[in-house]
């Protein structure tokens, strides 16, 4: 975990690798709960028997489930203190490069690309996120999230 205090310290991290989160096993229970929350019950996610004969040889996590898991992962990597708030401002890019099979373990690799002042006492930080799958070279997801931090 990297901890910074205030916007000036955050700026010093620009261009820096933030490391890796811990591994998390993606379970069928988690996939099913996500399907319930979103209403996305496509068989490749929730029908274990049918998915076993499908293109991935089993059920896979929703892409948006994989993306949503970057939130707790990111919380393991960077703690920005001394600000009033930080908000998720959006995403420049998201790609789901490989399916995450249920039972796989995933983690987040992150780097802070840029920190730019956008208003008085507010910076915009753009990150590079890669969700890795244990044992595979090709990532599950790559994304460029943008956060704004207000002092």
Q: pLDDT (tens digit, 0 to 9) for every residue of the chain, 151 residues total? A: 999 999 999 999 999 999 999 999 999 999 999 999 999 999 999 999 999 999 999 999 999 999 999 999 999 999 999 999 999 999 999 999 999 999 999 999 999 999 999 999 999 999 999 999 999 999 999 999 999 999 9
Contacts of 7 (CB under 8 A, 6+ apart): 83, 115, 121, 123, 149, 151
Interior CA angle at 77 toward 130 and 85, to 5°?
105
According to DSSP, the β-strands at 16-20 and 105-119 are: antiparallel
Contacts of 6 (CB under 8 A, 6+ apart): 81, 82, 83, 151
pLDDT of residue 1: 95
Give the closest residue to 63 by CA, choosing from 127, 137, 128, 141: 141
Question: φ, ψ for residue 130 (rounded to 5)?
Answer: -130, 120
Give the closest residue to 20 by CA, choosing from 8, 2, 3, 36: 2
Cα maximum dimension of the chain? 56
pLDDT of residue 123: 98
For residue 37, the surrounding DSSP H or E stretch is: helix 28-38
Domains contained in the chain, CATH given: 2-150 (3.10.129.10)
The tokens of 77 are what? 């990597």
Query: Across-strand partners of 60?
Result: 101
């Amino acid at each position: 975990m990297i901890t910074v205090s205030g916007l000036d310290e955050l700026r010093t991290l620009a261009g820096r690798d933030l490391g890796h989160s811990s591994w998390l096993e993606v379970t069928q229970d988690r996939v099913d709960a996500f399907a319930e929350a979103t209403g996305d019950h496509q068989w490749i996610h929730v029908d274990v028997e049918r998915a076993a004969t499908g293109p991935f040889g089993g059920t896979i996590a929703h892409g948006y489930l994989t993306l949503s898991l970057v939130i707790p992962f990111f919380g393991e990597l960077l703690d920005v203190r001394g600000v009033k708030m930080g908000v998720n401002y959006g995403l420049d890019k998201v790609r789901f490069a490989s399916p995450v099979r249920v039972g796989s373990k995933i983690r987040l690799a992150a780097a802070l690309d840029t920190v730019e002042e956008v208003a008085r006492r507010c910076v915009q930080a753009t990150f590079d996120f890669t969700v890795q799958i244990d044992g595979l070279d090709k990532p599950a997801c790559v994304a460029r999230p943008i956060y704004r931090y207000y002092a």
